[in-house]
A and B are shown apart, each in its own frame.
Chain A
Amino acid sequence: MRSPIRRSAQAAVAVAALSLAAACGGGFDDTAEQQESGSASLTMLIASSGDAETQAVQDQVAAYEQESGNTVDVQVAADLSQELAQGFAGGNPPDVFYLDASRLADQADAGNLFPYVDQVDDVDDFYPNLIDAFTYQDTQYCLPKDFSTLALEINDAAWSAAGLTEADYPTTWEQLATVAQRLTTGTQTGLVIGDTRDRVGAFMVEAGGWFLNGDGTEATVDSSENLEALQYLQTNLAAGSFRYPSGVDAGWGGEAFGTGKAAMTIEGNWLVGAMEADYPDVGYTVVPLPEGPGGPGTLSFTNCLAVAADSDAQDAAVDLATYLTGADAMTALTQDTGVLPSRQSLADAYLQQFPERQAYIDGAEYAQGPVNAPGAEQVLLDFDSQLGGLATGDPQAILDSTQTNLEQAIGG
């Protein structure tokens, strides 16, 4: 009699072979067959901040369905990147989906995206640096549906309590450091900023630096401009007039600002909605970020409506994406969701409605989009993890290690 172990091993191999044959027989590769236009059925995967935003999207989609005769199934993702990954791996991705600018390069590089911007007539109406954020290797992939920028938010009560007036709103780094010092009291910190590239990066831009050069082909992390930005932050963090949210026991800058632990913070226009909902009694003023040695600077955050390369109704998908980024739909969609319209022609009407968001809109002219290179995410996460120790760390060492890692990521 043969040994039972050998026998079960043989059985296992046989089972594996059989199961594999069964699994693979039934078409892992479905090639996308294009649907007839006119009555295509589309799926759209979105991320939503809440019921109001979902409802706004569904209203616009319903209007599109009326006009085009296509049907659209709107799905709200709990975890957008995970659900997208499942869609791509399964060969059946949503036809249209939200895509954050920081994820563009990875997705474009993997061949997941269908670039459709060349089919659109009025691309010039969008802010050029938002279009740039969705451009990878000279191809413009998708249209930004809206955007946000960073600005400096100031607590009015704390400001006047420190004996400061409107004339003292900081416009330079020196002034920012001075007022932060004055606003720092026992329980209140002058400025609380998040300890990630999404806040610290703004200082790098104001100093005239950034992670990559202009066309995103070369890592420029270890530049003297970036060093100056980190040194400026280090000095103020060490002095205690700047702090990270965790240092004042807050989850993010907005929480520290709303609870009065911070007199100033640097956040985007999403802060407006959060303050209204959680801290409606706190009076505050929004001003542009102070200029650094390299001039004015801020960061922009934006999502586009991307179309999947594997979509089986590409024409209809492009149609939906352009409809939802059209002037009418965009006006409705940016109404009460706290985001800014990405079309320049809508700025005036928007500001008439929300004059207090002037500083955020102004930032659009010179805002820097996220790092746009495949494989950069892990490098930037590593940079973020080192920022926590900036107050006592060596800024040059942080920049050097990030430079090495980023070179490896975009070179390989």
Chain B
Amino acid sequence: MTAVPAPAGGLRTRPRREPGRSSARAGQGRAGWAFTAPQVVLIGLFVLVPILMAFWVSLTDWRGRGSPFTGQVGFVGFDNYATILTEPGLARQDFMTALRNNAWYVLLVVPLQTAIALGLALVLNSRIRAKGFFRTAFYFPTVTSSVAISLVFIFLFTGGGAVNGLLGLVGIDGPNWFSDSRGLVHLLGDGLGLWDAANPPAALTDGGPLGLSWWDWLSGPSIALAALILLVVWTSAGGYMLMFLAALQDVPNDVREAAVMDGANAWQRFRAVTLPALRPTLFLVTTLGLIGTWQVFDQVYLISQGNPAKTTLTPAYLSYTSAFETGQWGRAAAMSFVLFAIIIVLTSLQRFLMRDKDAAAEKKAVRAAQRARAASSKTTFFQAGR
């Protein structure tokens, strides 16, 4: 590699231009701040400050009367967090039950809705008839009010509802969905003969972390929660399908053609060309799914209110009832912040797991090369100057 010698003028003009440029830059900076100020203040006032206020509430024993920022409100430090995380008692048991339910919910909803959305997008991106109709049909649940959808699902999933009617046609005696609290993993193990669900093994019931027994942690989603999972997957898959569809249309055709020329079959093309091209969208969809599913509230509020036997209780709904029904605002705020932390940690973890390893390695190499070049060009300048 031959280093191109820098033009001599370049070195001389730079110091001369610097003062003017920096003042122009400062002016630009001021103008920039002036233009963004209204928005920054609005975000501060309606996002940042409320978050800080909520954090303050989570550190107090405020009972919901008057302002939480007066001297009469007692500061209790991290007591509210301790109540829901470390101290044995009903509050922790409820919160952990809610976390367990939500974890199972996320574990099922996110992969299912992502896979279904991707599948639908692939089908609708191929050459089939009536594409427009199907795109609208699949997207429709996403734009329909969740209240309307929840009501329809209540009727579909009653004991004598349409779902059980269909199951009856194939000889299955369907459960009374929204009032059945039996866990799916419990039932599965029972069916496989691993254990007797009515008489669980003592090894699992005797102890467990954080106030719930291992048996409770491993219950799996209840049948009622499974019905909610079906509802949410059905509703949200269409929205994510649209994102995949947009990304699929961006997959460069020449690369695909090159793969065909190389003799790759359909699966290989999907695996090696399409899927890598969809990686950013896949990340977006799973991240949005993860955040949305950890905050599930409206379906629970509308359909089950945490029943049966607390198997559809979620942290967001528990936080709502703790604040508005029982007046424990501090504890409710603490729950929200724990939920916030969980979402942040899981999203970061997911970001780390789904990072583009090739790109990361490439970037590293580029940075190393830059450093090397910077070092070598310095010497070049130095030598040129001499």
Contact = CB atoms under 8 A, between A and B. Distances in A.
B176 A246 contact: yes
Interface string B159-170: 110000000000
B326 A106 contact: yes
A388 B326 contact: no
A3 interface: no
A362 interface: no
B176 A82 contact: no
Given A82-B324, A106-B326, 4 more contacts: A249-B158, A249-B160, A382-B94, A388-B179
A219 B311 CA distance: 27
A16 B44 contact: yes
Interface of A: 11-12, 15-16, 18-20, 22-24, 28-29, 81-82, 85, 88-89, 91, 106-107, 109-112, 246-247, 249, 310, 375, 377-379, 381-382, 385-386, 388-389, 392, 405, 408-409
Interface in B322-348: 322-329
A106 B64 CA distance: 11
A15 B40 contact: yes
B45 interface: yes
Given A111-B63, A389-B309, A408-B90, A15 B48 contact: yes
21 contacts: A11-B40, A15-B41, A16-B44, A18-B41, A18-B44, A19-B48, A85-B323, A89-B64, A89-B65, A106-B326, A109-B63, A111-B63, A111-B65, A310-B65, A377-B326, A378-B90, A382-B310, A385-B308, A388-B308, A405-B89, A408-B90
B179 to A, nearest CB: 4
B52 interface: yes
Contact of A110 (B44, B49, B52, B64): B64
B198 interface: yes
Contacts of A385: 306-310
Contacts of A11: 40
Nearest to A93: B65
Tell which of B90, B181, B198, B310 has the most Cβ of chain A within 10 Å.
B90
B67 interface: yes
B69 interface: yes
B383 interface: no
Interface string B115-128: 00000000000000
Contacts of B93: 382
Given A378-B326, A385-B307, A388-B308, A110 B89 contact: no
A405 B52 CA distance: 32
Contact of A388 (B40, B64, B309, B322): B309
Nearest to B164: A249
A68 to B, nearest CB: 28
B52 A378 contact: no
A246 B157 CA distance: 12
Interface in B180-237: 181, 198
What is the interface of chain B mostly: helix, strand, loop, or mixed? loop
B264 interface: no
B64 A20 contact: no
Contact of B198 (A18, A81, A392): A392
B158 A110 contact: no
Contacts, number: 104
A12 B64 CA distance: 28
A382 B49 CA distance: 35
Nearest to A12: B48
Given A11-B40, A112-B65, A249 B48 contact: no
B66 interface: yes
B327 to A, nearest CB: 5
Contact of A249 (B43, B90, B176, B326): B176
A388 B311 CA distance: 12
Nearest to B325: A81
Nearest to A109: B63
Contact of B69 (A28, A111, A310, A381): A28
B90 A246 contact: no
Tell which of A23, A107, A246, A379 has the most Cβ of chain B within 10 Å.
A246
Contacts of A382: 90, 93-94, 310
A108 to B, nearest CB: 11
A-B residue pairs, 5 tightest by C-beta: A249-B159, A246-B179, A15-B44, A28-B67, A110-B63
A29 B70 CA distance: 8
Contacts of B259: none
Given A246-B176, A388-B309, A409-B90, A12 B44 contact: yes
Contacts of B65: 88-89, 110-112, 310
A382 B70 CA distance: 34
Contacts of B307: 385
Contacts of B159: 246, 249
Tell which of A19, A85, A110, A247 has the most Cβ of chain B within 10 Å.
A19
A246 B49 CA distance: 45
A305 B185 CA distance: 49
A20 B66 CA distance: 17
A247 B43 CA distance: 51
Contacts of B160: 249
Tell which of B41, B67, B70 has the most Cβ of chain A within 10 Å.
B67
A110 B323 CA distance: 13
A186 to B, nearest CB: 16
B116 to A, nearest CB: 30
A19 B308 contact: no
Contact of B44 (A19, A24, A91, A107): A19
Contact of A24 (B63, B69, B322): B69
Nearest to B305: A381
Given A89-B64, A110-B64, A249-B159, A379 B90 contact: yes
A385 B91 CA distance: 15
B379 to A, nearest CB: 25
Nearest to A22: B45
B324 A85 contact: yes
A85 B326 CA distance: 10
A72 B309 CA distance: 43
A377 B325 contact: yes
Contacts of B324: 81-82, 85
Contacts of A23: 45, 49
Contact of B327 (A22, A28, A110): A110
A278 B181 CA distance: 30
B160 to A, nearest CB: 5
Interface in B54-74: 63-70
A11 B48 CA distance: 12
Contacts of A19: 41, 44-45, 48-49
Nearest to B40: A15
A16 B176 CA distance: 51
